Structures are given as C-alpha cells and as structure tokens.
Amino acid sequence: MHAPGGYFFKRALRNMQQSPVLSLASIGTVAVALALLAFFAITVLNVQQLTASWSKSLAIVAYIDDVPEQSVVESWIARIEDYPEVAAVVFVSRDTAFERFRKRLGEDADLIEGLGASILPASLEISLTEDARSQAAVQAVVERLRKDQRFDDLQYGQGWLEKLEAFLLILRFCGAGLGGFLVFAALVIVANTIKLTLYARQDELEAMTMVGATSLFIKLPYLVEGALQGLFGGLAALGLSFVVFRFVLQKSLGSLLLITGIDTIHFLPPIWQFMLVVCGSLVGLMGSLFALRKFVRFGAS
Amino acid sequence: MIQLYNVCKAYQREQYALKDITLKIDKGAFVYLTGPSGAGKSTLLKLLYCAERPTRGQILVNGRNITRYGAAKIPYLRRNIGIVFQDFKLLNRRTIFENVAFPLEVQGRKRFEISKKVYQMLKKVGLQHRLNHHPVQLSGGDQQRVAVARAVVVDPQILLADEPTGNLDPEVTLDIMELFKGANARGTTVIMATHDRDLIRQFPRRVVALDAGHLSLDDMPLFVRPSASSGSS
C-alpha cells in the first residue's frame, strides 16, 4: 500500500460528505450513548465527592477509664501518630467530653444537672489519613490499638463504614456495568449503521477489488471514517453533556448536594473529557472494523 | 502468455460450467471468447482474474500458476489485468477523473503522473471535457468508454472484457472496438467474451467457442493468420 495517509483521510471525509444522513446517524448514535455515559459519570463523580466528605468525619475513639499522667498520655499520642494511617490524635478529657455532651443536649441539659464529669470516660480521638478511610485500614489500626491493651473500649462506627463501602461498591459496579452496556450498545449501533453504508456501496467495493486494490487499501478510508464519526460523536457528547450539566444537573443535583453540605458540583475533569472523546473514536473505529470484516471479498472460492 | 490445462469448474456437484478446457493464448493476442448464454464464457474470464477457482486443472499466467492464489496475492495479479464488464462497474459516487485515476492510486503512482495519464486517457476516449461528471450523468456508451479507459490506463498485460458491447448501439460498439484494438496494438493481450457474430465478422480475430462448458471451436480466420500455427492451442 503506497498511498499517503492524507489520501485515506480525504477519502473518508468525501465518503461522509456523500452520505450525510448515514454519517449523521452514526455521529448521533455515538453522541447520545456517550452523553448518557457522561451524565452517569458526572453523577457518580459527585456522589463519590459526597461520600468522600462524609468519610472525613470517620475517626476511631479509644476510651480511657483511668487517665494516667499527662506525660504518659502524650507519649501514647506520639506513638499512635507514628502509625502511617493516622492523620491526628486529640486527647479529650472527661471535662471536655462532659461539656460537649451538655452542649449536645441543648435545652435538655438540665437532665444532667448535679452530675459530674466523672460519668464520662476520657478518650483519644484518632482521625485517619484520606487513603486510610477504608474498612480494612481502620481494622488494621484498631487491631494494633487492641494489642496495646491500654484502652478500655474502641469505637469506630463499624456498621456505618460497612454500609458506606457497600454503597460505593454498588455505585462503582453500576457505573461500570451501565457504562460498559452503553459503550457496547453504541458499538453495535455504529457497526450496523456503517454496515448499511457498506450495503449501499457494495458494488463500489467490488469494483475496487477488480482494479487491484488490496483489502487494507479499501478498508482504511472506512476505518478512518468510522474513527472520525466516533470523534465527532464524542465531541458532540461532551458538548451536550456540558449543556445539560450547566442548565439541568447543576440545578437539580446541586440543590440535592447543598442539603448535604457540598456547595459546588463538578463537571468531568479534563482527563475524563479527553477519555470520552477517545472512547468515541474507538467506538467508531471498532464499529467500522466489525462491519468491514465480511465486506471486502476478492471472490476466489 | 496464458495457459489453461484440463480446467474444470463446477458450481454444484457434477454440474460443470467448464469441463476439461485446455487452451493457450500467446502474449499480445486478440481472442474472442464466444458461445451461447451459459456456455461458460464469463466463468472462464472469472478464473483468469481469480474471482473463481477452478475445481480441477491448472491456470498459468506469464508462467505463474494462479490456481491457488490467496486473497493477499490476487490484488497484485489484477494490477496487470484490465477488466471491462457489460455493466461497467464504475464507482458511481466518484467523478470520471477519479474513476480512471483509481487503479493508478491503488498502485501508488505519483499525483502529477496520475493527473497526466488520466487526462491523456480521457482524451483518447474522447471524454476529456467530462472529467468532473459522475458516471450516472453519462450515456451507456460513454460509461463504457470510461470503463475501458480505467482498464487500460495502467497499461495492463492482459485485458479481459465480458460482453463489453452487449448493451451498446452499433456506432458506439465500433468506437469501443477501436479502443481494444489500440490497446492490443500496444502489446496488451485482449480476451473478449461476446456472442455478437457481426462484431467478429467486422473485426476478425482468433475465436475460441464454448458450448455447455466444453471447448467447441478454436479457430483463426485465414486472413488473420500470420503463419499456420501461431496463436492457436
């Protein structure tokens, strides 16, 4: 094959120009499928942001019934802060704990009137680094603290953590499943749309084989055409999802997230935008490849 | 040179389109392949450009056995063979210029060379003024001129024509025949399938006749024979 790359690119553009309806159908299919994928990605991304903000409040509380001298407590704190999973350790004295409890009771604070700070234990509040906000990492820190045997009780919101992780797992699983399904559907539709184009051009393909064109020479413009349609579809999906994000999602999802304390919702990060367009090109290319498999025949049987 | 040895082609079991054909065609020859419809003319041509494979027998083109050519080799064989069909088989979405240029593009010729050759070729067939038209804008005769131009623009060693004048009026038929004669005069071996006896009478050349897949006649008109034995099998 001797023709320069520009030849195949030019031919692909000419093919699209000559079959505008079918080309638009392919581009539209990719655009709709990828826009759906983009909406879902935006939702998942923002829900993940929400759960990440929830997990910031994740901490291990180690209760101490008999509080030792301050220097001993400080040495414990220093040792725990050396754990790689630990971000900070704060000592909460009985008095501080009692004061917090009283504040939390608000108008009902008179219920504990006459009781002293001794009813509540002192504790160490151990907050974790961002990477360690998982069940496994929390469990590892708790195991180490248990071995220490200095603490009377350890609390770390185990049930809540399990639910959060299960929710995130389901979200990711649904995202991957739905995303995969949408990409596959786009692939099949694009392949069939390109097949329709090829049916219409079957005589042309046969004529090409008669003058000595190799299989690759015939197929390349169609592959480039598929990739270009996918690229345009990907760009259209990006534009469409941005418009919907700006005028629909940002309002509906934004007000939902505001309730939970998140002030801004985000569009896809640049790398995801790039991946969306690349994904469009690949869908178009693969669709052409599948469609072309059985179309170029030289007739020898 | 084209050689066929005991070539058989059956599309269905025991139903032969061609049976036991042995034939030799010299380089630069002009041969009519004739016979009634269904005699096997088109099948024989298809075997020569590898659109079909023989069920039995061997086919040699310029000393190469093409009988078992695979899909990767066929395009390179066809670059040395010009093919003209009764229904033209032009690329309808491309201009006349692009149609004639296509075989040269396939061969990777330089752009300026393509432009020059295509223009010269279209001038030769009298269509240089319609190079930007599409095939559907031309008459049947002009479309066949384009098909011939596309077939001969690469200076093929062999030109195969399957009833090229079947749908054309007598005047256009004569023009097309002149184009074939011109290609033959430049050294191209021409094999033309036809059942137009008037045409054979007007332009007498070697006649290979088929009947129900059998070779029924291989005859050179006396006044065409340069010597007693040349050109016949």
Measured in angstroms, the CA of A298 and the nearest CA of chain B are apart by: 6
The mean pLDDT value for A185-197 works out to: 80
Q: Does B9 touch chain A (CB under 8 A)?
A: no
Q: Does B178 touch chain A (CB under 8 A)?
A: no
Q: How confident is the model at residue B228 (pLDDT cuts 50, 70, 90)?
A: very low
Q: Check whether A4 has a pLDDT greater than 80.
A: no
State the pLDDT at residue A254.
Answer: 65
Map tokens 């690119």 to a residue. Answer: A9
**Cβ <8 Å between A201 and B83:** no
For an interface test with A, give the residue of B12, B46, B89, B118 to mutate (most A CBs within 10 A): B89
Better-predicted residue by pLDDT, A6 or A269 = A269
State the pLDDT at residue A259.
Answer: 66
For residue A153, what are the β-bridge partners? A63
Q: Does A55 touch chain B (CB under 8 A)?
A: no
**Chain A contacts of B92, Cβ < 8 Å?**
203-204
Chain A residue with CA closest to B70: the answer is A300
Three-point CA angle B95, B100, B106, nearest 5°: 110
- From residue B185, how far is each of B28, B30, B191 by CA, in Å? 8, 10, 14
State the pLDDT at residue A1.
Answer: 53
Please tell me the least confidently modeled range out of A190-194, A285-289, B207-211: A190-194
* Nearest one of A138, A288, B18 to B7, comparing CA atoms: B18
**Chain B contacts of A3, Cβ < 8 Å?**
105-106, 108
Q: What does pLDDT average to over chain B?
A: 89
**Cβ <8 Å between A300 and B50:** yes
**Cβ <8 Å between A211 and B74:** no
For an interface test with A, give the residue of B61, B78, B150 to mutate (most A CBs within 10 A): B78
Q: Does B11 touch chain A (CB under 8 A)?
A: no
CA B148, chain centre distance (Å) = 9
ipTM score over 0.85, yes or no: no
CA B226/CA A9 separation, integer angstroms: 53
Whether the Cβ atoms of residue A47 and residue A171 lie closer than 8 Å to each other: yes
Better-predicted residue by pLDDT, B44 or A181 = B44
Better-predicted residue by pLDDT, A129 or B206 = B206
DSSP conformation class of B226: S
The mean pLDDT value for B112-132 works out to: 92
The mean pLDDT value for A190-218 works out to: 83
Q: Check whether A112 has a pLDDT greater than 70.
A: yes
State the pLDDT at residue B225.
Answer: 53
Amino acid at A22: L
Chain B residue with CA closest to A209: the answer is B75
Q: Which of B52, B81, B106 sits opposite A213 (nearest CB)?
A: B106
CA A175/CA A84 separation, integer angstroms: 31
Q: Does B52 touch chain A (CB under 8 A)?
A: yes
State the pLDDT at residue B224.
Answer: 56
For an interface test with A, give the residue of B86, B93, B160 to mutate (most A CBs within 10 A): B93
State the pLDDT at residue A158.
Answer: 67
Q: Check whether B117 has a pLDDT greater than 70.
A: yes
Provide the number of CB pairs (under 8 Å) joining chain A to chain B: 75
Give the CA dihedral A293, A294, A298, A300, nearest 10 degrees: 130
Q: What is the pLDDT of residues B62-96, one digit of tens each?
A: 999 999 888 889 999 999 999 998 888 898 888 99
**Cβ <8 Å between B89 and A215:** no
**Cβ <8 Å between A1 and B108:** yes
Helix axes B111-124 and B96-106, enclosed angle (nearest 10): 130
Count how many residues are written for chain A: 301
Q: Check whether A199 has a pLDDT greater than 80.
A: yes
Residues of chain A with pLDDT > 90, as a percent, come to: 11
**Cβ <8 Å between B75 and A300:** no
Helices marked H in A1-134: 5-18, 20-55, 70-81, 94-105
State the pLDDT at residue B40.
Answer: 92
Chain A residue with CA closest to B82: the answer is A211
For residue A71, what are the β-bridge partners? none
**Chain B contacts of A5, Cβ < 8 Å?**
none
Better-predicted residue by pLDDT, A209 or A128 = A209
Q: Check whether B10 has a pLDDT greater than 80.
A: yes
Measured in angstroms, the CA of B107 and the nearest CA of chain A are apart by: 7
Chain A residue with CA closest to B159: the answer is A211
Question: Does residue B6 come out as left (phi exceeding 0), alpha (psi in the -120 to 50 range) or beta?
Answer: left
State the pLDDT at residue A298.
Answer: 66
CA A60/CA A135 separation, integer angstroms: 12
Q: How confident is the model at residue A257 (pLDDT cuts 50, 70, 90)?
A: low
**Cβ <8 Å between A301 and B52:** yes
Q: Check whether A166 has a pLDDT greater than 90.
A: no
State the pLDDT at residue B233.
Answer: 35
Q: Check whether A292 has a pLDDT greater than 80.
A: yes
Q: How confident is the model at residue B232 (pLDDT cuts 50, 70, 90)?
A: very low
**Cβ <8 Å between B89 and A207:** yes
Sign of the four-CA dihedral B48, B53, B55, B57: positive
Question: For B9, how many CA atoms within 13 A lie in the half-sphere containing its CB?
Answer: 29
* The pair of three-digit structure tokens given for residue A44, joined into one six-digit string: 């998942």
The mean pLDDT value for B142-162 works out to: 93
The mean pLDDT value for B195-213 works out to: 90
CA B58/CA B22 separation, integer angstroms: 9
**Chain A contacts of B78, Cβ < 8 Å?**
209-212
State the pLDDT at residue B48.
Answer: 96
Q: Check whether B230 has a pLDDT greater than 50.
A: no
State the pLDDT at residue A301.
Answer: 45
The mean pLDDT value for A241-257 works out to: 77
**Chain A contacts of B89, Cβ < 8 Å?**
203, 206-207, 210
**Cβ <8 Å between A212 and B107:** yes
Output the pTM of the full model: 0.69
**Cβ <8 Å between B50 and A210:** no
Q: How confident is the model at residue A278 (pLDDT cuts 50, 70, 90)?
A: very high
Three-point CA angle A14, A17, A20, nearest 5°: 145
Q: Check whether B231 has a pLDDT greater than 60.
A: no
Measured in angstroms, the CA of B233 and the nearest CA of chain A are apart by: 26
Backbone angles phi, psi at B7, to 5 degrees: -80, 130
Cα Rg, chain B, nearest whole Å: 18
State the pLDDT at residue A21.
Answer: 85
DSSP conformation class of B64: E
* Best-predicted range by mean pLDDT (A111-115, A175-179, B148-152): B148-152
**Chain A contacts of B52, Cβ < 8 Å?**
299-301
State the pLDDT at residue B121.
Answer: 92
Q: How confident is the model at residue B149 (pLDDT cuts 50, 70, 90)?
A: very high
Q: Check whether A47 has a pLDDT greater than 50.
A: yes
Measured from the Cβ of residue B87, the count of other Cβ atoms closer than 10 Å reads: 14
**Cβ <8 Å between B52 and A300:** yes
**Cβ <8 Å between B79 and A212:** yes
Q: What is the pLDDT of residues A117-132, one digit of tens each?
A: 778 888 888 888 877 7
CA A237/CA A38 separation, integer angstroms: 8
| Helix H or strand E encompassing A109 | none
Helix axes A202-210 and A158-200, enclosed angle (nearest 10): 70
**Cβ <8 Å between B53 and A301:** yes
Whether the Cβ atoms of residue B190 and residue B30 lie closer than 8 Å to each other: yes
Q: What is the pLDDT of residues A56-100, one digit of tens each?
A: 667 788 888 787 888 888 888 888 888 888 888 888 888 888 888
* Nearest one of B187, B183, B181, B182 to B199, comparing CA atoms: B181
Measured in angstroms, the CA of B188 and the nearest CA of chain A are apart by: 16
